[in-house]
Chains A and B, each alone.
Chain A
Amino acid sequence: MDYLHDLQVFLPGIIVAAAGLLVLLLDAFKKGMHVTYGFAVGGLAIALLISIQAMFGESGTAFYGMIVYGGTGAFGTFIVLLGALFCVIISRDYLRDVDLHNGEVYAMILFATTGMLGLAVSNDLISFFVSLETMSICLYVLAGLMKTEKTGAEAALKYFLLGAFSTGFLLYGITLIYGATGHTNLNEVAAAAEPTLLFLAGSGLLLVGIFFKIAAVPFHMWTPDVYQGTPTTLTAFMATAAKSATFVAFILILTRMLPGTEAGDWTNVIQVVAILTMIVGNLIALAQDNVKRMLAYSSIAHAGYLMVGLAAGTAAGYSGVLYYLFAYTLMNIGAFGVIAYYERNHGLDFTEIDSYAGLGFKVPVMGVTLSIFLFSLAGIPPLVGFVGKYYVFAAAVQAGLIPLAIIGVLASAASVYYYLRVMVYLYFKESHKEYSMRRPGFVFKSTLVILAVLTVYYGIEPVLPTTGLIELITSYYAV
């Protein structure tokens, strides 16, 4: 047992946690917001660089098998940090304009990120649970930031109550699994697993808890209200980083605790939930007039596409899901970022689609980048969203789940309508009144442009002569 080595492999998490504490202290001594903000961004950036390095490194387990490092975990760490970093960067202007710009927000984001980083590498049901709660409690606080708004209070309360309820399921599931096998370590549970009622009930409850966190139908009810009531850039944080972390943990549980044995064959359940999630998410999104709610339902639908990859249960499926999470992080943060920009200009209730009429021509950069993100979310080539969808659906077809893939593409065809609808308002309708738009700040604008460029770049990357990202991810699952 080499403690230094163990600490080193979890270095990103330690850095982010330290940065969180530092931010809290700095804020207490009123050093001025830009220093605080600088530490938050700096901490995340350093952690991100370390995690990129770790993606190419070796893999194994640390802390007596409590966590994994390298491979899936490293890539999960990378996605979470990428999402957190971009969200923090685009948050500053927004939070300042809605009068929420203070140190605690960043500290909370950093602590939540620490939880996510733990979640993405947990190899033990205990570390899984502790990380999940660290993340969730911080997110409950962030959801309620706009405490004077009705929607803000609703979001926080709803998220907290339903979240606590699902935690109950999760914990009960873990208890039953421990009772059935006598272990909490994922590998040891897998080795001791037998298809007894106790074990099946335990893993079923565990899955319910996870389904709640990733907003799968029928455990999705909280999502639209919470997404709508949370400050927009933090919604982006919840929708990307939190979801990615949970999905990576889900993959770890599926591959390490429930590998395709009789006791662990949950493919059918995941398939059914995936179908429900895709259909319900997309259909309800069609009827939304509020852009944030629309994106909330779209994020439910995306969880469905991701589960298509999980249902495939193959190396191609899992690597497809990881790639999709990366793609989803880029395009979703971008979309929420532009919405946040429009909100900053015209107040917090400026998320009704009707008010978007003619906005596309006002500040061309914002209109064009939002269009790119929405087309990418809709899965139109040559954008990264298409590549992600391609990998998960290809994995499903390869695994013989052709009906699932067909339902998936049809659902995503329906989704195109509501993504296009935003662009219809942006470009094809005349605006009702003259809006004056503030110019977006340089950092904010360049962040969105960078995200848009990455969205296009990773859309055409597969045909470029460089080594593809998917190749790296697939290598994690090579035997």
Chain B
Amino acid sequence: MELLLNITIYLPLLGVAAFLFIKTDEAVKWTSLIITTATFFLSLPLLFNFDVVNSAVPQYLTEGSPIFSGMDIKYLVGLDGLSLLLFMLTTLFGPIVILASWSSVKKSLIGYYSMLLILQTASLGVFASLDLVVFYVFFELSLIPMYFLIGIWGGSDKIRATIKFFIYTLVGSLIMLVALIYLGYNAGAATGIYEFSADWRFISGPEYTPGLVEQTWLFLAFALAFCIKVPLFPFHTWLPYAHTEAPTAGSVVLAAIMLKLGTYGLVRVCMPVFPNAFMEFAPWMAVLAVIGIIYGALVAMVQKDVKKLVAYSSVSHLGFVVLGIFAFNTIAVQGAIIQMINHGLSTGALFLVVGMIYDRRHTRMISDFGGIAKKMPVYATLFMIATLASIGLPGLNGFVGEFLILNGTFMSVLYDHKVYAILGATGVILAAVYMLWMYQRVMFGPITIKENEKLVDLNAREIGLLIPLVIFMVWIGIRPVDFTQYSEEWVDTFITQTEEKSIAVLQNTNTDELPEWTAKIYDLKEHQTEQKLVVTKD
């Protein structure tokens, strides 16, 4: 199983190597399809053999030796309750994005499919790695293929979009790198054996309790990198550009997988490693998340371009995920994890659907359509399901995630205010408005534009690549427990552990030695304020 996990991660790279010997375009496409399909099927045993009861413990571990004595940086991959489903989602999308580009990409195919395959390995690597340095390497590696995917095969304004995407994300991750190095030395000192430690199992565990000052800075640095990746308002400005200019497959991977690297990082690193900072900054993050939910929805409503509309809806939906993560109770975090999968499925499907109509008409403007449903009934049906899943109709997957998140947010002790849940819930209503309105304008009414008369319905390939997504949308909607079970134990364990760790940190803290601002943030030195109160009462 350990070997299987590694094979799954690196098999796509083997495909890239195979391209050295393949010359014809057809062979390139088939090789990529076979490789990604094989990756998907090879990853299934990982799911079936997963020990659900112990999902808090990483499984299928491969552990290398530290790179050199004293430095605990090592090759460490494994899956646990948090990463398993996202890992599976990535392998599922592998063949789908290959099929989605089958006939629409015609320029330098070897380059294109190599980029998709490298991206696959990088994303799988991020989800599987449990050493923070290895995590960082994969996190950054995923930028390069996406840079080329947008830059070479993108739309008219591709250069600006891809550079904005690259620089924006890179600035965040470089600051994270400095924080990571500091964290490594800080944690290394706590091991007593090593000088430097990047082993997530140790850093997130109860033995390592970083001080409040360190936590604040480190949390902010890590959270900045992840929030840019999510993207959380106000760091979202790169996203609409990147999405609009990227080729269909690029948008799908970006939405379904790469945005999850941000939210995944928040749960994987920020929550268990910096418990006090995480809890203290939670209301602030929730404010940003709620602004993102409403702002994203409002901006989506006025878009003329379908793809841009879906891109802004991502900002809104990922606001929900962040809201759930920082609500910090079992229900909300569970909801956030399942919502990551849901967003991947439904937004991925929406981008695919938009790509299909773009291939036929070479436009994405809502005003260029209308009445399509008559000409393309199958398309209309699948589009409808994806739309409804994205809105959160009960019975489909979106509902499950949003319900859990809002439910958890409502009860959250950290937020201490119901207003977050109430404002968040308006996002669901707004989603229905912009999605259904868009659907109505594209699909219904009379056909006003001549070209639309000639539209042909989906072919077998296009239906085939949407069907698996639809199956999972319905499945998660009807029996969510089949999926949430994987992360249940993980979330329970880590919420308890994080709480305990935050208390331990406070106990270790000498309040008098803290700088003024830290004490202020964490509401320490209460005795002083109490004394003042006493004085005023006298």
Q: Are A420 and B185 closer than 8 Å at their CB atoms? A: no
Smallest Cβ-Cβ distance to A381: which chain B residue: B137
Q: Are A380 and B175 closer than 8 Å at their CB atoms? A: no
Q: In the assembled complex, which residues on chain A have CB atoms less than 8 Å from the CB atom of B170?
A: 380, 413, 416
A-B residue pair count with CB separations less than 8 angstroms: 89
Instruction: Please encode chain A, from 282 to 307, with 1 for each CB lying within 8 Å of some chain B CB and 0 for all others.
Output: 00000000000000000000000000
Instruction: Please encode chain B, from 363 to 384, with 1 for each CB lying within 8 Å of some chain A CB and 0 for all others.
Output: 0000000000000000000000
Q: In the assembled complex, which residues on chain B have CB atoms less than 8 Å from the CB atom of A393?
A: 177-178, 181
Q: Are A413 and B171 closer than 8 Å at their CB atoms? A: yes
Smallest Cβ-Cβ distance to B185: which chain A residue: A398
Taking a contact as CB atoms closer than 8 A, the residue among A381, A428, A462, A471 that contacts B136 in the complex is A381
Q: In the assembled complex, which residues on chain A have CB atoms less than 8 Å from the CB atom of B136?
A: 381
Q: Are A409 and B68 closer than 8 Å at their CB atoms? A: no
Q: With both chains docked as a complex, state the minimum distance between the C-beta of A125 and any C-beta of chain B, in angstroms.
A: 34
Taking a contact as CB atoms closer than 8 A, the residue among A420, A427, A468 that contacts B68 in the complex is A468
- In this complex, how many residues of chain B approach chain A with their Cβ under 8 Å: the count is 37
Q: In the assembled complex, which residues on chain B have CB atoms less than 8 Å from the CB atom of A450?
A: none
Contact residues of B between 95 and 143, Cβ < 8 Å to A: 108, 134, 136-137, 140-141, 143
Stretch at the interface among B158-166, B270-278, B390-398, B507-515: B158-166
Q: In the assembled complex, which residues on chain B have CB atoms less than 8 Å from the CB atom of A397?
A: 178, 181-182, 185
How far is it, in angstroms, between the C-alpha of A428 and the C-alpha of B136 when the chains are bound? Answer: 27
Q: Are B144 and A409 closer than 8 Å at their CB atoms? A: no
Q: With both chains docked as a complex, state the minimum distance between the C-beta of A363 and any C-beta of chain B, in angstroms.
A: 13
How far is it, in angstroms, between the C-alpha of A474 and the C-alpha of B69 when the chains are bound? Answer: 10
On chain A, which size bracket covers the interface?
20 to 34
Taking a contact as CB atoms closer than 8 A, the residue among A402, A420, A462, A471 that contacts B69 in the complex is A471
Instruction: Please encode chain A, from 442 to 479, with 1 for each CB lying within 8 Å of some chain B CB and 0 for all others.
Output: 00000000000000000000110100101100100000
How far is it, in angstroms, between the C-alpha of A417 and the C-alpha of B168 when the chains are bound? Answer: 11
Contact residues of B between 167 and 185, Cβ < 8 Å to A: 167, 170-171, 174-175, 177-178, 181-182, 184-185
Contact residues of B between 67 and 82, Cβ < 8 Å to A: 67-69, 73-75
Known: A397-B182, A406-B178, A409-B178. A462 touches B73 (CB 8 A): yes
How far is it, in angstroms, between the C-alpha of A103 and the C-alpha of B336 when the chains are bound? Answer: 70
Q: Are A380 and B185 closer than 8 Å at their CB atoms? A: no
Stretch at the interface among B33-41, B146-154, B347-355: B146-154
Q: Are B163 and A417 closer than 8 Å at their CB atoms? A: yes
Taking a contact as CB atoms closer than 8 A, the residue among A375, A413, A429, A470 that contacts B174 in the complex is A413
Smallest Cβ-Cβ distance to A368: which chain B residue: B111
Q: Are B163 and A470 closer than 8 Å at their CB atoms? A: no
Q: In the assembled complex, which residues on chain B have CB atoms less than 8 Å from the CB atom of A184?
A: none
Q: In the assembled complex, which residues on chain B have CB atoms less than 8 Å from the CB atom of A428?
A: 151-152, 158-159, 162
Q: In the assembled complex, which residues on chain A have CB atoms less than 8 Å from the CB atom of B192?
A: none
Smallest Cβ-Cβ distance to A397: which chain B residue: B181
Smallest Cβ-Cβ distance to A395: which chain B residue: B181
Q: In the assembled complex, which residues on chain A have CB atoms less than 8 Å from the CB atom of B167?
A: 413, 416-417, 420
How far is it, in angstroms, between the C-alpha of A380 and the C-alpha of B141 when the chains are bound? Answer: 7
Q: Are A462 and B67 closer than 8 Å at their CB atoms? A: yes
Q: With both chains docked as a complex, state the minimum distance between the C-beta of A441 and any C-beta of chain B, in angstroms.
A: 20
How far is it, in angstroms, between the C-alpha of A55 and the C-alpha of B403 when the chains are bound? Answer: 63
Q: Are A361 and B163 closer than 8 Å at their CB atoms? A: no
How far is it, in angstroms, between the C-alpha of A359 and the C-alpha of B103 when the chains are bound? Answer: 26
How far is it, in angstroms, between the C-alpha of A476 and the C-alpha of B17 when the chains are bound? Answer: 38
Smallest Cβ-Cβ distance to A474: which chain B residue: B68
Q: In the assembled complex, which residues on chain B have CB atoms less than 8 Å from the CB atom of A429?
A: 159
Q: Are A380 and B144 closer than 8 Å at their CB atoms? A: yes
Q: In the assembled complex, which residues on chain A have CB atoms less than 8 Å from the CB atom of B196?
A: 394
Q: In the assembled complex, which residues on chain A have CB atoms less than 8 Å from the CB atom of B140?
A: 380-381, 386
Q: In the assembled complex, which residues on chain A have CB atoms less than 8 Å from the CB atom of B74?
A: 463
Q: In the assembled complex, which residues on chain B have CB atoms less than 8 Å from the CB atom of A390?
A: 177, 181
Q: In the assembled complex, which residues on chain A have CB atoms less than 8 Å from the CB atom of B68?
A: 468, 470-471, 474
Q: In the assembled complex, which residues on chain B have CB atoms less than 8 Å from the CB atom of A465?
A: 64-65
Q: In the assembled complex, which residues on chain B have CB atoms less than 8 Å from the CB atom of A72?
A: none
Q: Are A405 and B178 closer than 8 Å at their CB atoms? A: yes
Asked whether any CB of chain B lies closer than 8 Å to the CB of A440, the reply is: no
Smallest Cβ-Cβ distance to B125: which chain A residue: A382
Q: Are A382 and B152 closer than 8 Å at their CB atoms? A: no
How far is it, in angstroms, between the C-alpha of A402 and the C-alpha of B148 when the chains are bound? Answer: 33
Contact residues of A between 373 and 427, Cβ < 8 Å to B: 375, 380-382, 386, 390, 393-394, 397-398, 402, 405-406, 409-410, 412-413, 416-417, 420, 423-424, 427
Q: In the assembled complex, which residues on chain B have CB atoms less than 8 Å from the CB atom of A471?
A: 67-69
How far is it, in angstroms, between the C-alpha of A200 and the C-alpha of B46 when the chains are bound? Answer: 65
Taking a contact as CB atoms closer than 8 A, the residue among A361, A386, A406, A420 that contacts B175 in the complex is A406
A-B contact pairs, 22 of them (CB 8 A): A375-B144, A380-B141, A380-B144, A381-B136, A381-B141, A386-B137, A386-B140, A390-B177, A393-B181, A397-B178, A397-B185, A398-B181, A405-B178, A412-B174, A424-B151, A424-B163, A428-B152, A428-B159, A463-B73, A463-B134, A471-B68, A471-B69
Q: Given contacts A463-B134, A471-B69, could you give 12 more A-B pairs where the C-beta distance is less than 8 Å?
A: A381-B136, A382-B137, A382-B141, A393-B178, A397-B178, A397-B181, A397-B182, A410-B171, A413-B171, A424-B163, A428-B159, A468-B67
* Chain A residues in the interface with B (C-beta under 8 A): 361, 375, 380-382, 386, 390, 393-394, 397-398, 402, 405-406, 409-410, 412-413, 416-417, 420, 423-424, 427-429, 462-463, 465, 468, 470-471, 474
For the complex of A and B, list the 6 residue pairs with the smallest distance between their C-beta atoms, beginning with the closest: A471-B68, A409-B174, A381-B137, A463-B75, A428-B151, A462-B67
* Chain B residues in the interface with A (C-beta under 8 A): 64-65, 67-69, 73-75, 108, 134, 136-137, 140-141, 143-144, 147-148, 151-152, 158-159, 162-163, 166-167, 170-171, 174-175, 177-178, 181-182, 184-185, 196
